Structure 1
Amino acid sequence: MNELVRTQPPETAGALRSTSRSAAVAGGYRVVATAGVFEPGFRGGGPIRSLRYILDTLPDDLDVTLVTRDRDLRSPVSYPGLSGRLLRRDPRSAVFYLDPFALRHWARLLRHVRSRPVDLLYVNSLWSPFSVVAILAVALGVLRAGAILLAPRGELAPAALGIRSRKKRLFLSVWAPLLRRLDVRWQACSRREEEQIRAAVPWAQVMVNGNECAVPEVPAPPAEPSDGPLRLVFIGRISPMKNLVTALEAVAGTTRPIEFDIFGPVEDEQYWARCRRIVESMPGHVRVAYRGELPTAQVLETFGRYDAFLFPTLGENYGHVIVESMAAGCPVVCSDETPFSEQIAEAGGAVVRPATAAAFSAVLDRLADRSVGERAEAKRAAARRYRIWRQQSRELNVLEHARRFCR
């Protein structure tokens, strides 16, 4: 029986660990960072978790102010009690929640930012209005910054550039010369992303640092699998880049009983309508359910309940959700468009090449044929491989690395 169920997202209260102290760290290397969305929001996915980890692991002599919007992605309502406020998370970092349409917020922000020299402007996203405004402020002399570091967060991947490509390439043709004149440096989260940046911006000076994982060293043990249909999950933004359509077509093409649960915010309504049409025509041995949005705090526990994470993504510059899946003991069935192909193949899952629906269907049928014991061993393999990766993944904090790279 097919079903399409939508549940309401849980509350996000308490997602931000902040205090109201307003005293800034005296001296030190000062960074102003920008991002379109941050905690307590969660719809922005991996970049939110990246920034949280960066801020939580700052060296003692860094002072960072993150400027972000006062509401979650595509939300018409601001976070209760946060709009226009500067909240200090700890002695080294603070967050300013900006309503872009409130002039008094801009005045307050400008006074704070210009109160002391800024050593580094760290912008997250090439296209975000927050990034554009911040870089223009430097170009016009409104803000003085010793250096600028730009993290495109996968936006220069070929698949990402292929979405509204004419508009993006036109913007880049105008914007790139200004970035070059300002001697903007770039951050890549992997060698793959470094190559993508250089392909789009040949003159780019690129710093590679992927130390952005907020997953714990040893997560809770995953739930034991049960006999019955293969239990698959998709957790991610419902948008063309995450390629849920192929996941649904793959499930529809299987010959074994499968249960497939989908979690994530609907980012593209037209794309979601296409997904719904596929769900409505599912064969009788497949059950598909949309479970609504999933706050970050519930991601690991949710992954742990499933036999595999189905993720035919068109491209990930990092792939937090892949790391989280392995950490929770949930094998990953993924395309070869992430930095984690080697880990996935050794962690009870599969890297599918080519990433067609038919190829994914064949893999899913093989997984469905596993015994309960084999499914349990695959889950243990995912957790083991995660622990090995976590022990080996030790780099400088991104902003400490930037301080050295941007000298």
Structure 2
Amino acid sequence: MAGETSPATEVDERLANAEERNFRVLVTAGYFSPGWRAGGPVRSISDVLDTASAGVSTILLTRDRDLGAPAAYPGLSGTWARRGRTDVFYLGVRHPAHWRMLWRSLRSARFDLLYVNSVWSVFSVLPIVAARLGLLRAERILVAPRGEFGAAALGLHRLRKRVFLAGWRWMLRGPRVLWHATGPQEVADIRRVLPRARIGVVAIAAGPEPHPAPAELPVTDHTRLVFISRISPMKNLDLVLAALAHVRAPVRLDIYGPVEDPRYWQRCRELWAALPDPSVVSYRGELPPGQVGATFARYDASVLPTRGENFGNAVAESLAAYCPVICSDRTPWTPVLRDGGGQVLTELTSAALGALLNRVASAPPTQRRAARLSAGEAYRRWRLGRPRASVLDLAWQAVDEPPHRVPPQGRTS
């Protein structure tokens, strides 16, 4: 959540005082708290800010409204707010007065790092151009593509992205530009697009705290499945609905999430209506972040046959709540799912997913209970086995070290 609003003069003073601090970072993101409809990146960026050491001073620039929202956050538009140790400016992109206020605060500031959280967003393009032209004083640039260079993501609106990259690629090159990848797959994705890219940071989000072991669910004559995610082609809800036509065991599916793509949602609704028994599916609307974990805990399994994730916050939330995940093999979670966290779908077809769902739905209640406990324990093992990594502290090291000594994930000193 955003904290108390701050007068611009207080922010200016902190920016001036930050000149004496160790590492000064300007972070930009299209969407941020108190918004949540943009999904995982909002949580991941919060984690980046929360894990930074005391030697890192952060400013964040974001929109004044949530994804798809017509109205701005009450009391935040065109203001600075203090969140933890970060000053956040909520910009109304169509308000010239907001741009003037932001410029007055940033024009004399100097940053060691500009950290942008997208390749395509205007909240990345404009700051990178400003830094390249010297209008924004940032020594280095760190780009987190947030899965946007994955093959499936690039395949959506392919022509538009190819045209954009043809003119934009040169801005993303050079020794000043570093890249933040979440793992080996995203490193490969970045270098497939930009072969000479310098990977400055390889670090993945920490994931939520594990929930306590759950109580037994009420016994039913059907398996309870849930889909919690943005409703967009990347999340592949249409495949789930098509797969249900192949399931013979009794099952019910609840869908939660904001409709990001209305045309895609219409296709999903058509598949839903064509099911032998459409009543087994329900759309429950949007789900605020504070209710996600408790909602996962009420189901036997979650389903996310995603086309690709650089992290997969929905998978982490589900496992943390002891809800096994039926997921594609296009996320970093495949080893955890094979360690007891759920089921891995290796073929993105309705028949393959239907067979997997049928197997899960055919399990007796005792086996479903055991699968829930196994999922939670697999998540706990994953979380205990990985070091706590601060993205901005790792970037600090990468900036200070020669290119061939980029620190690996988890190294913090």
TM-score, normalising length: structure 1: 0.93
- Identity among equivalent positions (%) equals 46
Q: Which residue of 2 aligns with 1:68?
A: 62
Which range moves more in the overlay, 391-400 or 280-289?
280-289
CA-CA distance at 1:171 after TM superposition = 0.8
Equivalent-residue separation in structure 2 for 1:88 and 1:285 (angstroms): 47
Match for residue 314 of structure 2 among 316, 321, 328: 321
Task: Please tell me whether residue 220 in structure 1 is matched to residue 174 in structure 2.
Answer: no
The answer to whether 1:93 aligns with 2:86 is yes
Structure 2: any 5+ residue segments left out of the alignment?
Answer: 401-413
Contact 1:211 1:397 in 2 (8 A): no
- The runs of 5 or more residues in structure 1 that have no matched partner are 1-14
Is contact 1:190–1:209 with CA below 8 Å preserved after alignment?
A: yes
Q: CA deviation at 1:69?
A: 0.2
Instruction: Output one character per residue of 1:346-369: Cα deviation in whole Å (capped at 9) or x when no partner.
Output: 225110121211111111111112
8 Å CA contact 1:155, 1:161 repeated in 2:
yes
CA deviation after TM superposition for structure 1 residue 183, in Å: 2.9
Aligned residue for 2:196, secondary structure, equals coil
Find the residue that maps to 2:242 and give its secondary structure.
helix
Which range is displaced more, 339-348 or 324-333? 339-348
CA distance in 2, matches of 1:155, 1:183: 21
List aligned pairs for 1:296-315, cutoff 5 A: 296-315=289-308
Alignment of 1:105-144 (within 5 A): 105-144=98-137
**Root mean square deviation of aligned Cα:** 1.6
Shift of 1:173: 1.4
Given residue 41 of structure 1, which amino acid in structure 2 is its aligned partner? G
Distance (whole Å) between structure 2 residues aligned to residue 266 and residue 160 of structure 1: 18
Alignment of 1:159-198 (within 5 A): 159-181=152-174, 183-198=176-191
Deviation of the 1:174 alpha carbon: 1.0
Instruction: Please report how far the alpha carbon of residue 208 of structure 1 lies from its aligned counterpart in structure 2 after TM superposition.
Output: 4.1
Deviation at 1:227, TM superposition (A): 2.8
Give the equivalent residue in structure 2 for 1:3.
Answer: none
Equivalent of residue 78 in structure 1, options 64, 72, 80:
72
Greater relative contact order: 1 or 2 (C-alpha under 8 angstroms, separation 6 or more)?
1
1:291 deviates by 0.7
Q: Determine the C-alpha separation between the residues in 2 that align with 1:378 and 1:38.
A: 34
8 Å CA contact retained: 2:243, 2:354:
yes
Give me the whole-angstrom Cα distance separating, in 2, the residues matched to 1:124 and 1:285. Answer: 39
2:197 paired with 1:210: no
For 1:30, the equivalent position in structure 2 comes to 24
Q: Which amino acid aligns with 1:332?
A: V
Distance 1:381 1:17, change over 3 A: farther
Q: Deviations over 1:70-102 (max 9, x none)?
A: 000011100000001111112x31111001111
Residue 10 of structure 1: aligned partner? none
Q: Is contact 2:328-2:344 (8 Å) kept?
A: yes
The question of whether the paired residues in 1 share the 8 Å contact of 2:201 and 2:394 is answered with no
SS at match of 1:347: helix
2:2 to 16, 19, 23: 16
- Asked if 2 retains the 8 angstrom alpha-carbon contact of 1:257 and 1:286, the reply is no
Distance change in 2, residues 1:377/1:285 (3 Å):
farther
Aligned residues: 391
The answer on whether the counterparts of 1:334 and 1:351 sit within 8 Å (CA) in structure 2 is yes
Q: Is the 2:214–2:322 contact (alpha carbons within 8 Å) kept by the matching residues of 1?
A: yes
Normalising by structure 2, we get a TM-score of: 0.91
1:363 matches 2:390: no
Return closer, same or farther for 1:290/1:403 CA change in 2, 3 Å cut-off.
Answer: same
The 8 Å contact of residues 239 and 267 in structure 1, kept in 2 or not, is answered as yes
The residue identity in structure 1 corresponding to 2:67 is: L
Equivalent position amino acid for 2:111 in 1: V
In 2 relative to 1, CA 182–102 (structure 1 residues): closer, same or farther, beyond 3 Å?
farther
Q: Sort the Cα spacing of 1:198 and 1:187 in 2 relative to 1 into closer, same or farther, 3 A.
A: same
Describe how 1:227-266 pairs up with structure 2 within 5 A.
227-266=220-259
Q: CA deviation at 1:285?
A: 8.0
Who is 2:335 aligned against?
A: 342
**1:393, distance to aligned residue in structure 2 (A):** 2.1
- Point out the more displaced range, 264-273 or 20-29: 20-29
**Contact 2:6/2:79, CA 8 A, preserved across alignment:** no
Distance (Å, rounded) in 2 between the aligned partners of 1:139 and 1:346: 46
The structure 1 residue matched to 2:52, chosen from 54, 58, 68, is 58
**2:216 is aligned with what amino acid?**
E
Judge conservation of contact 2:51–2:389 (CA < 8 Å) in 1: no
